[in-house]
Chain A
Amino acid sequence: MISNFGNLLLFISIFLSLSIIYLSNKNLKLNGNQITKNIFQLSLIQSTLVIICFFTLIAAFIVSDFSLITVYQNSHSMKPIFYKITGTWGNHEGSLMLWVIILTIFSFLFLIYNKNHPKKFRLLTLIIQNILIIGFLFFIILNSNPFSPLSPIPKEGLGLNPILQDPALAIHPPLLYIGFVGSSIYFSAAIASLISNYSEKNFASSIKNWILISWSFQTLGILVGSIWAYYELGWGGFWFWDPVENASLLPWFAMTALFHSIIVFEKRNLFYFWVIILCLMTFILSVTGTFLVRSGILNSVHTFASDPTRGIYILSFLSLMIFGSVFLLFKKYKTENYNLNQNSKETFVLVNNWFMMFYLVTVLLGTIYPIFTDALSQNKISVGPPFYNAIIFPVVVIFLIFMAIGPNTSWIKNKFDNIKLYFLILLGAILINLMIILFFKNFSILSNFIIISALFLILSSLKDFVISKKKNNLDLARIIAHASFGFLVLFIGLNHIFSVEKDYNMKIGEIKKFDNYSIEFKNLELKDFTNYQAVVGEFEILKEKDRNILKPEIRIYSNPKTLTYEASIKTSFIKDYYLTMSNIDRSDYYNIKFQEKPLMIWIWLSVIMIVCGGLLRFFKNAKNS
């Protein structure tokens, strides 16, 4: 029953998309700048239907309707209701429904929020967006249908992977999807702008808020994923350079470049084609990421069950998007005047874009290089963290310096009249860095450079805040975002240098001592929970007079039968204590891994502040328009 209902809704949605395209096309030929009411209504009905369709799927998960293959494979009747619901998008089929929801909602919102732009541009955006929607709906119906029926109906489901049963992971996919599926709307708008020759500054105002909102959510999504990896994967790291993480980072670089260059476009009417290229690139990279993750061409911790036919479908869709947009771009491309003064804000924004492109190319190469060597020479290689760390981190130093100076330059022609002040700031940064080294007695050239440049950015932003407040032209959004990025790099640097890690085999009652720490294994308990049993250890960590109790767990999940190891983390403002425990068979000993990770919470907070910067700019823009 649910299967038929769901499929019916999917088919109606395709029909609605076709109708919207047909009506928009008809409306294009009419005079006047009015869009007929029908189109608005249909677009609204379409979004509503897709949402109902998604809720139908959620309902099937809640009532554990195992007549659907997706529910059978990803749920279990004993699961807590929260994870039944989040299980809906914890799998390939369900998550594609999220894709379509965001595609349709953004399509509708773009239509109603851009009333003062030319009709042709708006209708063409709608048409392109609906072509994308049809593409994804067909993908769902043809080979990723969450409403595929199963007969005979099994009595029980296979259950959701325990490591996905986590609050952070419940919100991670929706956040990330608003980010990279949201970028579809400026892909469509860019194509529409090319076709309708709408290349004025106003085009920038139609898309800049969409860029900001998708960028903010993308950043949040990446953050939540990292936090999850930090406490769930059990080794204390938060970034792995895993292909899937990279896939979320690639569009992020393009978006970041985009919302910087769009400032230039809006102010100076320059870089139009570059903005268009970035718009196209962002969504193309999002779909490329989806292809890499869902087709099984790359394996990673995130692998979804892979199916080659899925790969073929996304690849065909991707090829169509790439060749279509490249063809259109070439047809419309006119050489632009990039004859800029080298010392001007325009140039500094371009510098930001070069850095973003550099990072993007590095991460893209690292991610797809193994596919190339495998396909062309059968030589299987894997590209790991050392590659990324070696290439990305040294460049960050220069990037941060530019990031500090760039925003204060003036348009068209800049004059540096405050070089002395910058030298003072640099001196301040070096002094603080020296104090850090003296205090902690640690030294490495690269990390010193990174810390100095991060401090330089932070202090410069502080200076900007004070000066611009006096002059009454405060750009709080930018200052917050840039300073927080400085803090982020600073905290990651400090965290990296001053982490402590120790491994021991211990049994109850034992005490291990090192430096000025002591770890005591106090107790062990067995506890029962609804969907798992847990062996909970109790450890006391003593450092000078600071006493902390940590309780790592070994969990035994029943459906599917899996053992997971839950780290116990004690967070404070200065540091995290991080303890994992695993059993050693046929002995009273447990293997424990203790880590002290300084300033963890500040890393997360810095990213949240960066997002706040983005959202602040968004609300300011929204208010002004």
Chain B
Amino acid sequence: MQKIVKTIIFLIFLFILSVFFIGLNRDTNYNTANQINKEIPDFKVSYLDKENFFTKNDLRKNNFTLINFWASWCAPCRIEHPILIRLSEEKNMKIVGVNFKDKKEQAKKFLGELGNPYDVSTKDMYGKQSVLFGIYGIPESILIDKELIVIKKFVGPLSVNDLNYIKEIIK
């Protein structure tokens, strides 16, 4: 009996450590460097207002798209909001907002107060779809081109430098 218990304990440790090892070598989506120049993953989020779904294919008609992950409860999202408003004036790029783990009413109140920079507003209530993009904390934004290839990923609030960078790229 004791032998069996010992073997099981040993195997549990072996299992945990091997998973750690696999985890280490895995190309984690969290690592933003690996996503650059690659196509974005398949995803399916619902619109903020409607129950229809918005998917990857809906992005193909835009020359450039900035996917921005935000929430009303996220203080830095307020900080970057003015930058998004400025970017929304760009003709060559659409902005898709993904409202992350938020309440619909509060999200709408947020946009009502600060202005709505999004061409399309979607929601990811449980944060599951956002994880596909390797979103860990918000705000984060992903700039993609017509072929849905990731050009750059912005972790944290967009800054004025980011604004200029994006303007330069989509010129």
| Chain A residues packing against B (C-beta within 8 Å) | 234-235, 291, 295-297, 299-301, 306, 308, 311-312, 315, 318-319, 322-323, 326, 330, 335, 368, 371-372, 374-376, 380-382, 384, 505, 561, 563, 565, 580, 582-586, 591, 593
Contacts A/B (CB < 8 Å), 6 sampled = A291-B20, A371-B20, A380-B29, A505-B113, A585-B86, A591-B114
A563 touches B113 (CB 8 A): no
B79 touches A565 (CB 8 A): yes
B23 touches A374 (CB 8 A): yes
Measured CB to CB, the nearest residue on chain B to A297 is: B23
B25 touches A585 (CB 8 A): no
Q: How far is the CA of A582 from the CA of B73 in the complex (A)?
A: 14
| Min CB–CB distance A57 → chain B (angstroms) | 28
Q: Given A326-B13, A374-B26, A376-B19, are A584 and B75 neighbors across the interface (CB < 8 Å)?
A: no
Residues of B within 8 A of A315 (CB): 17, 20-21, 24
Q: How far is the CA of A299 from the CA of B138 in the complex (A)?
A: 13
Residues of B within 8 A of A330 (CB): 6
Question: Which of B48-56, B57-65, B127-135, B141-149 contacts the other chain?
Answer: B127-135
B78 touches A312 (CB 8 A): no
Q: How far is the CA of A311 from the CA of B24 in the complex (A)?
A: 7
Extra inter-chain contacts (6) besides given A291-B20, A563-B159, CB under 8 Å: A235-B73, A297-B23, A322-B13, A323-B13, A563-B157, A585-B85
Measured CB to CB, the nearest residue on chain B to A567 is: B75
Say if the beta carbon of B9 comes within 8 Å of chain A: yes
**Interface size in chain B (residues, C-beta < 8 A):** 41
Binding site secondary structure of chain A: mixed
The 9 closest A-B pairs by CB, nearest first: A585-B82, A380-B131, A375-B22, A375-B23, A311-B24, A371-B23, A299-B136, A299-B30, A297-B23
Q: Given A563-B79, A584-B82, A593-B75, are A295 and B24 neighbors across the interface (CB < 8 Å)?
A: yes
Q: How far is the CA of A279 from the CA of B25 in the complex (A)?
A: 31
Residues of B within 8 A of A300 (CB): 136
Q: Given A296-B31, A381-B131, A382-B127, are A586 and B82 neighbors across the interface (CB < 8 Å)?
A: yes
| Min CB–CB distance B62 → chain A (angstroms) | 24
Residues of A within 8 A of B159 (CB): 561, 563
Residues of A within 8 A of B19 (CB): 371-372, 375-376
Measured CB to CB, the nearest residue on chain A to B31 is: A296
Measured CB to CB, the nearest residue on chain A to B77 is: A582
Q: How far is the CA of A368 from the CA of B159 in the complex (A)?
A: 33
A312 touches B24 (CB 8 A): yes
Say if the beta carbon of B37 comes within 8 Å of chain A: no
B131 touches A582 (CB 8 A): no
Q: How far is the CA of A585 from the CA of B83 in the complex (A)?
A: 8
Residues of A within 8 A of B30 (CB): 296, 299
Which residues of B151-171 are within 8 A (CB) of A?
A: 157, 159, 161
| Min CB–CB distance B80 → chain A (angstroms) | 10
Q: How far is the CA of A301 from the CA of B85 in the complex (A)?
A: 27
Say if the beta carbon of B28 comes within 8 Å of chain A: yes
Q: How far is the CA of A382 from the CA of B81 in the complex (A)?
A: 25
Q: How far is the CA of A6 from the CA of B81 in the complex (A)?
A: 47
B75 touches A308 (CB 8 A): no
| Min CB–CB distance A92 → chain B (angstroms) | 16
| Min CB–CB distance A366 → chain B (angstroms) | 15
